[in-house]
């Protein structure tokens, strides 16, 4: 069931515009110990307030008195909720103008006990408010009911339209004084012409129910049945948690009418949130996945929150997981369920609301084959590619490791090259856009978990992808760990690719020859290996780049320009180094160096001597993923 927000725009009235109604009750909510089963009487008893004698016929209209001023102790002053008095009809009412005994708030039909049900009509009723109130226009004419529960209970009010063309509207207010009512909720306007509301009725608080059409006019007179009853969810309480005997388990459910469980904010959710409980005690240790899918409702107030506790006693529960509040309205948790330990799942909204109209909860085993270090998926040969997921992965480390938080759970791959080679690992996130699902890739070397050495870490970029390029030594085992940055739901789906990455001009001896000027080429440094054992020509020794060579036939002034065409990170700003010399290695002479600018570009201008060989090395400033793409231009400078 969807509830529309209250339209607070007033119509013209002789008084100032009213202050908006307060929608959220602030009365005390029950603790777990205060809640008791709701007794169901065998039948309802309605005790209508005696209606007053009709006023004598007046020969002239009575003046409309000004509205009574009042002060709302919770919000701010607003005008009287009662309709200003109008002169009665000068002729007796017709059959379609029956004077209703419960036509006004002060004459509301008293409901003594629940369940309550009766047939009624809005025929002959008159408007109740001078302005649009609690989501319904001022012209709407309705009839009133009142109920004061003696104990806190979930209450369900249902209006079943039996005749008439109008769609019914149900408004629920609370407050003893008809001049100081606060709108709790409203429902109506559905094609079925019915309306309903479910809410937690606080002990000792008076509630008013107003049934009306959506607008005024004699054509909207209608008959209906109204039912007011307890709404007792079977598993609304901790002690009544629905038992999950075996996995997989799935059930369609609702939290509408659930009563709050805690006196203080608990496990990341406000104390006012009412939810429903499930319990599961695994017979063996297993990874368990709980998923809550909201199946109706789009409001932020109906987004699901899932809390996972361990423990058998309410007072000693331990919070293990909390998730929720996403735009999708769904929530989920994955955890290792220990054999013989009891777990409780509590589904609720974030705070006191009408609840989640409908959702599906799924609880199942979630065993990722390569979730553990010892179960790393073996890569026997390159190229390798696989679609995978980290959802359900359990954390691997007790402390932050290789640039990622200790809470992050991931999946493992292992590869041992038979020969030394440049290896490129790329993780492409294929679903999910949240910052919480951005991939992180860690590359380790080593066969033993306790002696792993971190070689590379990359991730957290806007695309959600991550990558690493490194030199894999023959016979050395490498481990690739794909995860998020910290504990989250995980990466829903991604593709991992591992392949050789051999740039043609990655080494000085393989420098790309520039035969004539002008020269231009689109290129990349991704996958390039470092060239020097120590810092060289102003750039860190860890920076890998690509090489170009040029030998002019005549002396000329030359300009070399490197324009970065993709990439915006500091780590992929270009650096250009110009060397002279025929022999690669220590005999090269550094002539000039430029780079590191915000633009990512770099350039150099120098006089090239006839017959001398020059080497141009394009790289980043330090070891990184490299420059995704750039354009190098070499031309004569006038």
Q: How far apart are CA 187 and CA 6, in angstroms?
A: 10
Q: How far apart are CA 394 and CA 337, in angstroms?
A: 11
Predicted local confidence at residue 194, as pLDDT = 78
User: What are the sequence ranges of the domains in the chain?
Assistant: 32-52+64-88+96-230, 238-365, 373-500, 508-636
Predicted local confidence at residue 152, as pLDDT = 86
**Closest by CA position to 458, among listed 471, 445, 469:** 469
Give the DSSP letter string of 67-80: PPP---SSS-----
Q: How far apart are CA 387 and CA 377, in angstroms?
A: 12
Bridge partners of 291, per DSSP, are 332, 362
Choose which CATH entry (3.30.70.360, 2.60.120.380, 3.40.50.920, 3.20.20.70) describes domain 373-500: 2.60.120.380
User: Coil, strand or helix: which one is 252?
Assistant: strand
Can 32-52+64-88+96-230 and 238-365 be said to share one CATH topology? yes
Predicted local confidence at residue 192, as pLDDT = 64
**Closest by CA position to 439, among listed 401, 364, 389:** 389
**Closest by CA position to 100, among listed 121, 85, 127:** 121
List, in order, residues 6 or more apart from 269 with CB less than 8 Å away: 305, 307, 322, 324, 348, 350, 351
Structure tokens, 309:
């506790």
Give the DSSP letter string of 348-406: E-SSSSS--SEEEEEEEE---TT-SGGGPEEE-SSSEEEEE--TTPPB--SS-BTTB-T
Distances (CA, A) of 635 to 25, 365, 515, 632, 638: 76, 64, 12, 10, 10
Bridge partners of 483, per DSSP, are 410, 440
Q: How far apart are CA 375 and CA 396, in angstroms?
A: 12
Structure tokens, 13:
């009235």
Three-class SS string for 430-461? Answer: EECCCHHHCCEEEEEECCCHHHCEEEEEEECC
**Closest by CA position to 564, among listed 606, 535, 595:** 595
Residue 102: how many other CB atoms lie within 10 Å: 23
Burial of 224 (0-12, 13-18, 19+ CB in 10 A): buried
For the stretch 349-386, what's the b/e string if a residue is b when 16 or more beta carbons lie within 10 angstroms of its beta carbon?
bbbbbbbbbbbebebbebebebbebeebbebeebebee
**What letter does residue 516 receive in the DSSP assignment?**
S
Burial of 585 (0-12, 13-18, 19+ CB in 10 A): exposed
Predicted local confidence at residue 450, as pLDDT = 92
Q: How far apart are CA 289 and CA 335, in angstroms?
A: 7
Structure tokens, 16:
């100032």
CATH entry 2.60.120.380 includes domain 32-52+64-88+96-230: yes
**Closest by CA position to 29, among listed 356, 352, 306:** 352
Distances (CA, A) of 498 to 316, 402, 456, 524, 592: 48, 20, 14, 18, 36
How would CATH label the architecture of 238-365?
Answer: Sandwich (2.60)
Query: What is the largest distance, in Å, between two alpha-carbon atoms of the chain?
Result: 122
Give the DSSP letter string of 480-492: EEEE-SSSSS--S
How far is the first Cα of the chain from the last one, in angstroms, to the nearest whole number? 77
Bridge partners of 223, per DSSP, are 121, 163
Distances (CA, A) of 472 to 467, 475, 499, 509, 624: 15, 9, 11, 21, 16
How would CATH label the architecture of 508-636?
Answer: Sandwich (2.60)
Give the DSSP letter string of 172-184: EEE-S-GGG-EEE
**Are 155 and 184 in contact, with CB atoms under 8 Å apart?**
no
Structure tokens, 424:
């490129």
Predicted local confidence at residue 221, as pLDDT = 52
**What letter does residue 254 receive in the DSSP assignment?**
-
Run of H or E including 607:
strand 602-608
Run of H or E including 291:
strand 286-296
Predicted local confidence at residue 14, as pLDDT = 37
**Closest by CA position to 465, among listed 439, 442, 490:** 439
**Are 245 and 281 in contact, with CB atoms under 8 Å apart?**
no
Predicted local confidence at residue 463, as pLDDT = 80
Q: How far apart are CA 239 and CA 279, in angstroms?
A: 10
Structure tokens, 103:
């036509």
Kind of pairing, strands 242-244 and 519-523? unpaired
Predicted local confidence at residue 340, as pLDDT = 96
User: Coil, strand or helix: which one is 218?
Assistant: helix
Give the DSSP letter string of 265-286: -BTTB-TT-BEEEEEE--SS-E
**Are 405 and 486 in contact, with CB atoms under 8 Å apart?**
yes
pLDDT tens-place string over residues 578-636 = 999 988 877 899 999 999 899 999 999 999 999 999 999 999 987 666 788 999 999 99
| pLDDT under 70: residue ranges of the chain | 1-100, 190-192, 216-221, 352-354, 487-489, 623-625
Backbone phi, then psi, for 106, in 5-degree steps? -70, -15
Backbone phi, then psi, for 46, in 5-degree steps? -105, 130
- Alpha-carbon torsion 601, 605, 611, 614, what sign? negative
Structure tokens, 331:
């929530």
Q: How far apart are CA 38 and CA 230, in angstroms?
A: 7
């Amino acid at each position: 069931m969807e509830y529309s927000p209250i339209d607070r725009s007033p119509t013209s009235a002789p008084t100032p515009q009213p202050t908006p109604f307060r929608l959220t009750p602030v009365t005390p909510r029950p603790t777990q110990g205060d809640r008791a089963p709701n007794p169901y009487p065998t039948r309802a008893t309605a005790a209508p307030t005696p209606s007053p004698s009709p006023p004598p016929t007046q020969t002239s209209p009575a003046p409309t008195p000004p509205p009574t001023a009042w002060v709302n102790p919770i919000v701010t002053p607003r005008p009287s909720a009662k309709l200003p008095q109008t002169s009665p009809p000068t002729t007796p009412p017709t059959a379609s103008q029956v004077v209703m005994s419960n036509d006004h708030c002060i004459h509301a039909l008293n409901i003594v006990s629940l369940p309550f049900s009766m047939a009624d009509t809005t025929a002959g009723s008159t408007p109740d408010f001078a302005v649009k109130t609690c989501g319904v226009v001022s012209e709407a004419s309705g009839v009133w009911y009142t109920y004061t529960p003696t104990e806190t209970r979930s209450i369900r009010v249902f209006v079943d339209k039996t005749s008439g063309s109008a769609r019914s509207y149900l408004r629920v207010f609370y407050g003893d004084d008809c001049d100081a009512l606060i709108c709790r909720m409203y429902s109506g306007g559905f094609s079925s012409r019915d309306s309903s509301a479910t809410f937690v009725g606080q002990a000792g608080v008076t509630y008013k129910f107003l049934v009306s059409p959506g607008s005024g006019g004699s054509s909207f007179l209608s008959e209906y049945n109204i039912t007011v009853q307890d709404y007792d969810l079977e598993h609304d309480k901790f002690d009544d948690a629905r038992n999950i005997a075996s996995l997989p388990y799935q059930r369609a459910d609702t939290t509408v009418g659930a009563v709050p469980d805690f006196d203080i904010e608990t496990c990341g959710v406000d104390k006012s949130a009412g939810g429903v409980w499930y319990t599961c005690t695994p017979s063996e240790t297993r990874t368990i996945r709980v998923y809550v899918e909201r199946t109706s409702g789009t409001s932020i107030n109906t987004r699901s929150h899932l809390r996972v506790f361990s423990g058998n006693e309410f007072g000693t529960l331990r919070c293990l997981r909390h998730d929720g509040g996403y735009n999708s309205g769904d929530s989920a948790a994955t955890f290792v369920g220990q054999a013989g330990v009891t777990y409780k799942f509590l589904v609720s909204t974030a705070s006191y609301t009408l609840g989640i109209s409908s959702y599906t909860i799924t609880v199942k085993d979630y065993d990722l084959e390569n979730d553990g270090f010892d179960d790393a998926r073996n890569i026997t040969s390159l190229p390798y590619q696989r679609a995978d997921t980290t959802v359900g992965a359990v954390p691997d480390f007790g402390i932050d490791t290789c640039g990622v938080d200790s809470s992050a759970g991931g999946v493992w791959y292992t590869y041992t090259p038979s020969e030394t080679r440049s290896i490129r690992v790329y993780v492409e996130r294929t679903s999910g856009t949240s910052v919480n699902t951005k991939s992180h890739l860690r590359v380790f070397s080593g066969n033993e978990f306790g002696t792993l050495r971190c070689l590379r870490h990359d991730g957290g970029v806007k695309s959600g992808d991550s990558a690493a390029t490194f030199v894999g030594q023959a016979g050395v085992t490498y481990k690739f760990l794909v995860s998020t940055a910290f504990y989250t739901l995980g990466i829903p789906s991604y593709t991992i690719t591992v392949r050789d990455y051999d740039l043609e001009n990655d080494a000085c001896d393989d420098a790309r020859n520039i035969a004539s000027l002008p020269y231009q080429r689109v290129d990349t440094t991704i996958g390039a290996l470092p060239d020097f054992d120590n810092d060289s020509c102003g750039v860190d020794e860890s920076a890998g780049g690509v090489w170009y060579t040029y030998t002019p036939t005549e002396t000329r002034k030359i300009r070399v320009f490197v324009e970065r065409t993709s990439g915006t990170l500091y780590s992929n700003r270009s650096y250009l180094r110009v060397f002279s010399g025929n022999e690669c290695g220590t005999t090269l002479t550094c002539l000039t160096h430029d780079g590191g600018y915000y633009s990512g570009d770099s350039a150099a201008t120098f006089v090239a001597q006839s017959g001398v060989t020059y080497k141009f090395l394009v790289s980043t400033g330090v070891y990184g993923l490299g420059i995704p793409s750039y354009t190098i231009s070499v031309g004569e400078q006038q």
